Amino acid sequence: MTRDVTAPDTTHSGGIGFFEKWLSVWVALCIAAGIGLGNLTPDLFQFLANLEYASVNLVVAVLIWGMVYPMMVNVDFASIRHIGDRPKGLVVTLIVNWLIKPFTMVALGVLFFEIFFVDIIAPDDAQQYIAGLILLGAAPCTAMVFVWSQLTRGDATYTLVQVSVNDIIMIFAFAPIVAFLLGVTDIDVPWPTLILSVGLYVVVPLIAGALTRLSLTRNSRPGEASDVAITRFTHSAKPFSVIALLATVVLLFGFQGHVILDRPILIGLIAAPLLVQSYGIFIIAYGAAWLWRIPHKVAAPCALIGTSNFFELAVAVAISLFGLNSGAALTTVVGVLVEVPVMLSLVALANRTRSFFPAEH
C-alpha cells in the first residue's frame, strides 16, 4: 500500500482540519445565508437561474467542477491493483452502492409519496420528488468520502481504491440505472441530457483530475516522491474547493429559499425517506462488515461511502433534467440539508463502536 494521499497530512497538525471540524457549522450558515438572500434578492437568483445552456446551469456547473476537480486529482487508478489485497470492504461497498441503495431509495420514495403521503402531495409533485430521490440514491459519494474516512481514522489508501472503482462504475452505470428507475416512476427520460450530465460532472472532472495527477507525477521536484507533489497540489487547491462547496450550498438554497420558508412541512416530508434510507443503508453496510469481521479502519469508511451521496452530481442532473425550480431539484437540495448532520452522527456512531470490530492491521 502507498502513503495516504487522500487527505491533508495530519501527522503534525494533530487532527482533522479546521474546515472538517466545523463542517456542520459552515454548511448551516450557508444554508441560512442562501435562504435569506434568495428571499431578499429574488431577481438576482432569477438572473443566475437563467444563465444556462443546453439545460445546464452554467453557474452551478462551474461551482461543481470547482468542488469536484481537486477531489478527482486524488483518484489514483493505479491503486486498483490493490483491489485483491483485502476484497471484503470493497465487496460490501459495491453491493450496497449498486445492488441495494438505488432500489431501496426508489422503493422508499414510492412508499412515502404514493402511499404514506398520498393525501398530502399531488401525484405529479410526488413523481418529481421520487425522481430527486432516485438521483440521490444512484450517485454514491466521491468527494466527501475522504472527509468521512478521515474523521473515522479510516484506511485512506483503501478508501482511495473504493472511490476509484466506484467512479469507474459510475461512468457506465449511473445513466442506465437512473433511466431504468425513472421509467419505473413513469417519467420520460431525456437520454441526451442525462448522458451530457454524466459527461460534464463525472467524466470531464475525472479526466481532468487524472491528467493533472499524471502531470504532477512527471514533474515532481527532484528527489521528491510523486505523492508528495500530489498532496501539495490538493492542499493548495483545497480552499477553492471549499469555497465552491459553500457557494454551491448558498446558491442552491437561494434558488429554493422561498419554497423552504413557505412550505417547511414539505421539506420535512421529503427528508423522511432520506433519513430512513441513510440510517438503513448504514446499518446494512456496517452490519455486514461486522459480521464479516472486517477491521474498523475499512468497515467504517465502506459503510459511510454506501450511505453518503454524490449530491453535487444529483443536484446538477436534477437541474439539467427537470429545471431549477422543479420538485426533483428541491429534493436533491433537501438531500444536502439532510446529509451533513446525518453523516456526522454516523461518524460519531462509528467511532464509538470501534471496539466491536477486529483489531486493525
Secondary structure in 3-state letters for 283-349: HHHHHHHHHCCCCHHHHHHHHHHHHCECHHHHHHHHHHHHCCCCHHHHHHHHHHHHHHHHHHHHHHH
Cell reading at 335:
438531500
For 85-119, give one letter per residue: b (16+ CB within 10 A) or e.
ebebbbebbbebbbebbbbbbbbbbbebbeeebee
Cell reading at 81:
491493483
Cα(58)–Cα(65) distance, rounded to whole angstroms? 10
Q: Which amino acid is at 216?
A: L
Cα(274)–Cα(105) distance, rounded to whole angstroms? 8
Decide: 166 and 97 in contact? Cβ < 8 Å: yes
Q: Computed from CA positions of residues 43, 27, 328, 163, in that sequence, does the dihedral angle turn out positive or negative?
A: positive
Decide: 251 and 63 in contact? Cβ < 8 Å: yes
39-42 contact pairs (CB < 8 A, 24+): 39/257, 39/258, 39/261, 42/258
Whether 81 maps to a domain, the answer reads yes
Region class of 153: left (phi > 0), else alpha (psi between -120 and 50), else beta: left
Closest CA to 334 of 271, 278, 277: 271
CATH of the domain at 78: 1.20.1530.20
For 326-353, give one letter per residue: b (16+ CB within 10 A) or e.
bbbbbbbbbbbbbbbebbbebbebbeee
User: Residue 157: which domain range?
Assistant: 18-356
Whether 255 maps to a domain, the answer reads yes
pTM check: above 0.75: yes
Whether 241 maps to a domain, the answer reads yes
313 half-sphere exposure, CB direction, 13 A CA radius: 35
Whether 6 maps to a domain, the answer reads no
Region class of 327: left (phi > 0), else alpha (psi between -120 and 50), else beta: alpha
Looking at the structure of the chain, the number of domains it has is: 1
Q: What's the DSSP call for residue 116?
A: I
Closest CA to 309 of 134, 168, 187: 134
How far is the CA of 202 from the CAs of 142, 227, 316, in angstroms?
Answer: 10, 23, 11
| pLDDT less than 70: residues of the chain | 1-21, 80, 82-84, 143, 221-226, 360-361
Whether 13 maps to a domain, the answer reads no
What's the length of the chain? Answer: 361
Whether 203 maps to a domain, the answer reads yes
Whether 118 maps to a domain, the answer reads yes
Q: Computed from CA positions of residues 173, 174, 176, 177, in that sequence, does the dihedral angle turn out positive or negative?
A: positive
pLDDT at residue 12 in the model: 36
pLDDT at residue 312 in the model: 77
Nearest-5° angle of CA 166, CA 162, CA 329?
A: 45
- Give burial (CB, 10 Å; 0-12/13-18/19+) of 222: exposed
Cα(237)–Cα(241) distance, rounded to whole angstroms? 6
Decide: 6 and 160 in contact? Cβ < 8 Å: yes
pLDDT at residue 11 in the model: 35
pLDDT at residue 49 in the model: 86
Q: What are phi and psi of 22, to 5 degrees?
A: -110, 30
Q: Angle between the 327-352 and 23-40 helix axes, to the nearest 10 degrees? A: 160
pLDDT at residue 6 in the model: 36
Decide: 314 and 332 in contact? Cβ < 8 Å: yes
Whether 10 maps to a domain, the answer reads no
Neighbours of 208 (CB within 10 A): 15
